[in-house]
Amino acid sequence: MAGNRAVAYKGPGTVEVIDTEYPTFELKDGPGVNPANVGRQVRHGVILKTVTTNICGSDQHMVRGRTTAPTDLVLGHEITGEVVEVGPDVEFIKVGDIVSVPFNIACGRCRNCKERKTGICLNVNPDRPGSAYGYVDMGGWVGGQAEYVLVPYADWNLLKFPDRDQALEKIMDLTMLSDIFPTGFHGAVTAGVGVGSTVYVAGAGPVGLAAATGALLLGAAVVIVGDMNADRLKQAASFGCETVDLTKGGPAEQIEQILGVPEVDCGVDAVGFEARGHGKDAGHEAPATVLNSLMEITAAGGALGIPGLYVTGDPGGIDEAAKKGSLSLSLGTGWAKSLSFTTGQCPVMKYNRQLMMAILNDRVSIGKNVNAKAIGLDEAPQGYAEFDAGAATKFVLDPNGYVRN
């Protein structure tokens, strides 16, 4: 029996590479696994040898101790892999296929899945709609920052790349299809971005840069990205975005300097619940800052796409309300301006095939735009530390040497 190694959360601020079990076609008890899922048979699944698996800002929320994630939880929901075993109920996916794994785990059978709402599948998480690999309160499906990982409902969930050699050649772009590219694109789509739009993206981390890339792909006339990190703003500028330095104050005045008016057609929140104040308050956590500022600067009748993560349990919240995910939103502003809001997990399968085609046909270079960098599995703790410190880099783990060989 083959072994397995994986990246595990060991407590606030700490991840380690551990020896763990090779996956089987049955869910076993372990950190974060919902008791109702223990013993669940996965005859419809496959086992992947991981090609790439990325460090995500959502993982960082857990690693910082800002969720209720249990110690020893195996991390990782951004997975690309090669099929090495197939369950007896798998019909179309074959050994040797190179595939992208949507971070949403979906059954393909429930009402929501049939309506393309795969981010809120009803059958994969006994606690609530929606599930993901290696994430707190998401059903306990083992994470993919590992050498091998189990993927359920393989015929439904997996996006097979049409040509192995082409896929491996473009893997630093294709690896973004599991989460951040569709997630950022979803933020732009739900914000109403179209040809000629002016767009403000709050946050120049990888999801924000993916949202900016998506906005440009959708035909936006001007994409403005706001952040407090100079290196990340420089990365946004490298592929044609205007930038706003939020250490100098809120976005409205700086947007007016760019556009001539202090508002945009479309707003995207790519920051989430660990947002900080602007200007003189830049060093202080203020979780409603981004949402309230977006309502102020988005034109009446516009929309906000909110791919940034918000949680119902935050042990590090600034007050009792924030610890439960309750924020002081200026909902009256949103109501008065007839703004629309879209929140929640991106339904990855709604977008991943189209974005794959854009990558394979050289219409977009998402890996370059987010400054993707491949590192070995043993370098994961360093990658987490550098990302947490603000590196303008999307770290791509290469557990089995596919990228480097």
Q: Closest Cα to residue 236, out of 269, 259, 213, 263?
A: 213
pLDDT above 90 (res 218): yes
Give me the mean pLDDT over the 299-310 stretch.
95
Q: pLDDT at position 362, please?
A: 97
Q: Which residues of 171-200 are buried (b: 16+ CB within 10 A; e: fewer)?
A: bbbbbbbbbbbbbbbbbbbbbbbbeebbbb
Q: Which residues of 68-94 are buried (b: 16+ CB within 10 A; e: fewer)?
A: ebeeebbbbbbbbbbbebbbeebeebe
CA quadruple 105, 110, 112, 118: dihedral, nearest 10: 20
Q: What is the pTM for the complete model shown?
A: 0.96
Residue-wise pLDDT for 222-249, tens only, equals: 999 999 999 999 999 999 999 999 999 9
Homologous superfamily (CATH) of 180-342 is NAD(P)-binding Rossmann-like Domain (3.40.50.720)
Residue-wise pLDDT for 125-165, tens only, equals: 999 999 999 998 888 899 999 999 999 999 999 999 999 99
Residue-wise pLDDT for 311-365, tens only, equals: 888 888 888 888 888 888 999 999 999 999 999 999 999 999 999 999 999 999 9
Task: Please indicate whether residue 15 or residue 323 has the higher confidence score (pLDDT).
Answer: 15
CA distances from 12 to 15, 71, 72, 289 (A): 9, 9, 11, 25
Share of the chain above pLDDT 70, in %: 100
Q: pLDDT at position 327, please?
A: 86
According to CATH, the topology of domain 4-179+347-397 is Quinone Oxidoreductase; Chain A, domain 1 (3.90.180)
pLDDT above 60 (res 219): yes
Q: Say which DSSP state 138 is in.
A: T
Q: pLDDT at position 405, please?
A: 57
Give me the mean pLDDT over the 192-209 stretch.
97
Q: pLDDT at position 287, please?
A: 84
Residue-wise pLDDT for 158-185, tens only, equals: 999 999 999 999 999 999 999 999 999 9
Residue spans of the domains in the chain: they are: 4-179+347-397, 180-342
Q: pLDDT at position 337, please?
A: 97
State how far the Cα of 378 lies from the Cα of 294, in Å rounded to an integer.
39
Alpha helices in 163-205 (DSSP H): 164-169, 171-174, 180-190
- Give the CA diameter of the chain: 65
State how far the Cα of 375 lies from the Cα of 77, in Å rounded to an integer.
17
State how far the Cα of 265 lies from the Cα of 188, in Å rounded to an integer.
11
Q: pLDDT at position 243, please?
A: 98
